[in-house]
Homo-oligomer: A and B are copies of this chain.
Amino acid sequence: MKCRVCREPAVIDIRRHNANFCSDHFMRYCRDQATKTIKEFEMAHQGDRLLVAVSGGKDSLALWDILLELGWDVDGLYVGLGIGDYSDVSGDYVRSFFEAFAEPRGAKLIEVDLRATHGYDVPTASVATGRTPCSACGLSKRHLFDAAARDGAYDVLLTGHNLDDEAAVLYGNVMRWQVDYLARQRPMLAAGNGFPKKAKPLVRLSERETAAYCVLRGIDYQVDECPMAVGNRHLEYKNALGAAEEASPGMKQAFYFGYLREAVDLFATRPAPEGEAGEANTSLIPCDTCGSPTNGDPSGAATCAFCRLSQRSAAAEPVPVELLKTRRR
């Protein structure tokens, strides 16, 4: 097995591209894929200030490193979600990466702790609001990411979603024909409705590739899945697609990019809902608590979904993550 570029011994094979690479050319391949994606979807322009949301996992740390390597002006944002030991360990990985790879190249790390700033954590919010943990987490993260990008006047907020993530989300949205979600499933959402521009430059890399990138680059990362996500539908969809990819290498990429090429525009006929960048939505009003655009809550008050969750969760008795894991069975 030889590197496609230099014919030296290869360390990885990418079946869907029918290609093998040595370590150096594999890392260059990853950066090239990110560059191609950034250009194609106009994710960022020269001189932009970027903010990448980092979780301590392989995808987001690989993304931060790749963007720094490519010469972008890119800071990191870490949100402590209070998911027990998992969050503690995740934060340690982020800080180690920052010290070794980012700070030396002049980047900053912004840290926000959910309990310190808003008085609650994800397990507590899940119980207090009756949302699934993933739903409470997603709503909280989106709000804090948006606020940090706005407060720091960043031009683009970036996340490390990879091809497997995006294909699995698409698969779930298609299986249930969730047309509102389908309409918004793009690797770049323009700024709008008071929200920052959002982009996912790693949608051309599989999770096997982001993991290999970290290993070859010497980046340590949180390997465990979030304990609250175990058994969720997203992982089911990933498994279904994984089996299909195994049988037909390239089907995942064909499925996701085929959607972007052939179908997403057919779905994208509605204005963005509350709490989302993209198409202008003139029916939104400012949240009376945080000022973010909102549809208002069902009772008629102009309080956004995040502030409603935040208020109920901060008033609730803290729930340790271990208790929630038991309750979910």
User: Can you spell out 25 A-B residue pairs with CB atoms less than 8 angstroms apart?
Assistant: A174-B174, A174-B255, A175-B244, A175-B251, A175-B254, A175-B255, A176-B254, A176-B255, A176-B258, A177-B255, A177-B258, A177-B259, A177-B261, A177-B262, A177-B263, A179-B262, A179-B263, A179-B266, A236-B247, A240-B240, A240-B243, A240-B244, A263-B267, A266-B266, A266-B267
Contact with B along A225-251 (1 / 0, CB 8 A): 000000000001000100110010001
What is the CA–CA distance of A300 and B179 in the complex, to the nearest angstrom? 41
> A residues bordering B, Cβ < 8 Å?
174-177, 179, 236, 240, 243-244, 247, 251, 254-255, 258-259, 261-263, 266-267
A244 contacts across to B, CB distance below 8 A:
175, 240
What is the CA–CA distance of A259 and B258 in the complex, to the nearest angstrom? 18
Q: Which of A177, A240, A243, A254 has the most CB of B within 10 A?
A: A177
Q: Is the interface of A mostly helix, strand, loop or mixed?
A: helix
What is the CA–CA distance of A266 and B259 in the complex, to the nearest angstrom? 14
Q: CB-nearest residue of chain B relative to A174?
A: B174
Q: How far is the CB of A233 from chain B (nearest CB, A)?
A: 9
What is the CA–CA distance of A119 and B272 in the complex, to the nearest angstrom? 59
Q: How far is the CB of A259 from chain B (nearest CB, A)?
A: 6
Q: How far is the CB of A108 from chain B (nearest CB, A)?
A: 41
Q: How far is the CB of A291 from chain B (nearest CB, A)?
A: 34
* Given pairs A177-B261, A179-B262, A179-B263, 4 additional interface contacts (CB within 8 A): A175-B255, A176-B258, A240-B244, A263-B267
Q: How far is the CB of A231 from chain B (nearest CB, A)?
A: 11
What is the CA–CA distance of A266 and B262 in the complex, to the nearest angstrom? 12
What is the CA–CA distance of A218 and B155 in the complex, to the nearest angstrom? 70
A179 contacts across to B, CB distance below 8 A:
262-263, 266
A259 contacts across to B, CB distance below 8 A:
177
Q: How far is the CB of A171 from chain B (nearest CB, A)?
A: 9
A174 contacts across to B, CB distance below 8 A:
174, 255
Q: CB-nearest residue of chain B relative to A262?
A: B177
What is the CA–CA distance of A176 and B261 in the complex, to the nearest angstrom? 11
Q: How far is the CB of A162 from chain B (nearest CB, A)?
A: 19
Q: CB-nearest residue of chain B relative to A265?
A: B266
Q: How far is the CB of A40 from chain B (nearest CB, A)?
A: 18
What is the CA–CA distance of A83 and B267 in the complex, to the nearest angstrom? 43
Q: How far is the CB of A251 from chain B (nearest CB, A)?
A: 6
Q: CB-nearest residue of chain B relative to A258?
A: B177
What is the CA–CA distance of A262 and B173 in the complex, to the nearest angstrom? 12
Q: How far is the CB of A166 from chain B (nearest CB, A)?
A: 14
